[in-house]
Amino acid sequence: MKAIRFDRYGSPDVLEIGDVEMPAVGDNELLVRVRAASVNPLDWHFMRGLPYVVRLMAGLSRPKASSRKLGADKAGSVEAVGTRVTGFSPGDEVLGGLEERGTLAEYITIRADGAVLARPASLTFEQAAAVPVAGVTALQALRDKGRIQAKQKVLVNGASGGVATFAVQIAKALGGEVTAVCSSPNVETAAAIGADRVIDYSREDFTKGGRQYDLLLLDTAGSRSLPETRQGLLPAGVLVGVGGPNKGNWLGPLSRAARMAMLSQQNKADLTVLAELIDAAKIAPVIDTTYPFAQTADAMRYLEEGHARGKVVGTM
């Protein structure tokens, strides 16, 4: 089968499509034919080996064999099931996520009791592949770390990104009053996905407007220092960080996250919550663009530019 691999750190030029062995199916696993897989900032960090703290996990000078794979979420069809699997059959269409990465491939195996469930009928494969990493990250940030309550005032900074477009919608679905901060070209998108108020950061500084937010401020852009950002919070407000700009070789966005919350563990329960919200038409993936599997390097280049409106998805 074909899969995306890289044997050294660097730009998207290091990515190659190569032949690898078909994965063996364990007793409690599904073999899934991948139809679509999104790319995430996580892939960028492992591909580049930046910030350098990533290399403590992936390999110091070159990526370890186990770290040469990319892709953490996918949608596809079940090709085979292990002998102890119940609830899934060949032909089922599913979405899911992998903690160890590797979904940018023609086939993957995933535990049947892991982060995998039936694809919502309203979603295409491309839309379904956009859900797991970004959707679960936004849900956990809002519900588990921010402990959002109905009628709370929520600010989403960088509101046009992959996680943030889910955050705006999930916050609304959970009863929040949402203010979205984004650039001028993305104002209409933020309003279309349900933001009650949209701030164009080129015209207004949310930290200086005098408006403060009740209990949660979800900062996905990382464009402000912590002292600046806190000016937008009420005394009891909660600041949850889920990333930041791709700057700094040593810690980069992880330096902010280390002082705030580290998020996103893929699991079936949270995917089920997202699927229920999708079925209820309360949230929907926002996809900027799709790329053929053979153009994964181009997809990564586009992601690195930092201007994607929603998710970037590869199709198989």
DSSP for 234-252 reads: -TT--EEE----S--SSST
Element (H, E) at 274: helix 268-279
User: For residue 260, what pLDDT is reported?
Assistant: 34
**Quick count: other Cβ atoms within 10 Å of Cβ 89?**
11
* DSSP label at residue 160: T
Count, residues in the chain: 316
**Can you give the residue ranges of every domain in the chain?**
2-131+285-315, 134-259
User: For residue 258, what pLDDT is reported?
Assistant: 35
User: For residue 255, what pLDDT is reported?
Assistant: 42
Q: What is the mean pLDDT of each run of 10 residues along the chain (316 residues)?
A: 97 96 97 97 92 90 94 97 98 93 96 97 98 95 94 93 96 97 95 97 88 77 74 87 59 42 73 98 98 97 92 96
User: For residue 218, what pLDDT is reported?
Assistant: 73
- Could you tell me the sign of the dihedral formed by the alpha carbons of 47, 167, 311, 102, in that order? positive
Q: Do domains 2-131+285-315 and 134-259 have the same CATH topology?
A: no
Helix, coil or strand: residue 146: coil
User: For residue 142, what pLDDT is reported?
Assistant: 95
CA dist., res. 14 & res. 58, Å (int): 16
Give yes or no for a contact between 193 and 165, defined as CB atoms under 8 angstroms apart: yes
Q: Give the β-pairing of 16-19 and 29-39.
A: unpaired
pLDDT tens for each residue of 101-150: 999 999 999 999 999 999 999 999 999 999 999 999 999 999 999 999 99
Token output for 123: 């979603």
Q: Give the β-pairing of 153-157 and 177-182.
A: parallel
User: For residue 221, what pLDDT is reported?
Assistant: 66
Helix, coil or strand: residue 151: coil
Task: Tell me the pLDDT of the chain averaged across its residues.
Answer: 90
Q: Please tell me the CATH code under which domain 134-259 is placed.
A: 3.40.50.720
Top-level class of domain 2-131+285-315: alpha beta
b/e burial code for range 277-293 (CB count within 10 A of at least 16 → b): bbeeeebbbbbbebbeb
CA dist., res. 161 & res. 171, Å (int): 15
CA dist., res. 12 & res. 153, Å (int): 39
CA dist., res. 218 & res. 140, Å (int): 11
